[in-house]
Amino acid sequence: QVRLVESGGGVVQPGRSLRLSCAASRFTFSAYALHWVRQAPGKGLEWVAVISFDGSNKYYADSVKGRFTVSRDNSKNTLYLQMDSLRPEDTAVYYCARDRGSNWLLYYLDYWGLGTLVTVSS
């Protein structure tokens, strides 16, 4: 069964940085695009970013563009989200999720991790 495990969340002050990781296993990591999706406490889902299977294409939500950077290391089966200039409104559970398309971007998210909580507060 596909496994995605996020880590790196925590409490951080506004304006500071944090890097999230997502360790993947039990599938061919290098063949799939991966997404980050977040959910503020008590709120709905917000798509954050996607990176293609080979890392050549990346797209971001307007709310994080210029502040967040998605990357991946296919040799380590790990996805990253570098979050800079954090704001209180970035407080959320951050999920990584696999795109259903193999070697293709479909934007259907078929497997999700359990999430990691990021709290931005002074």
Partner 1 sequence: DFQMTQSPSSVSASVGDRVTITCRASQGLSRWLAWYQQKPGKAPRLLIYAASSLQSGVPSRFSGSGSGTDFTLTISSLQPEDFATYYCQQANSFFASFGPGTKVDFK
> Interface residues with partner 1 (CB under 8 A)?
35, 37, 44-47, 50, 59-62, 95, 97, 100, 105-110, 112-115
Q: 13 or 103, CB closer to partner 1?
A: 103
Adjacency order of strands within the sheet including 18-25 = 3-7, 18-25, 78-83, 68-73
**Closer by beta carbon to partner 1, 29 or else 94:** 94
Cβ–Cβ < 8 Å for 37, 107: no
Q: What does the DSSP 8-state code read for residue 44?
A: -
Whichever of 46 and 84 has its CB closer to partner 1, that residue is 46
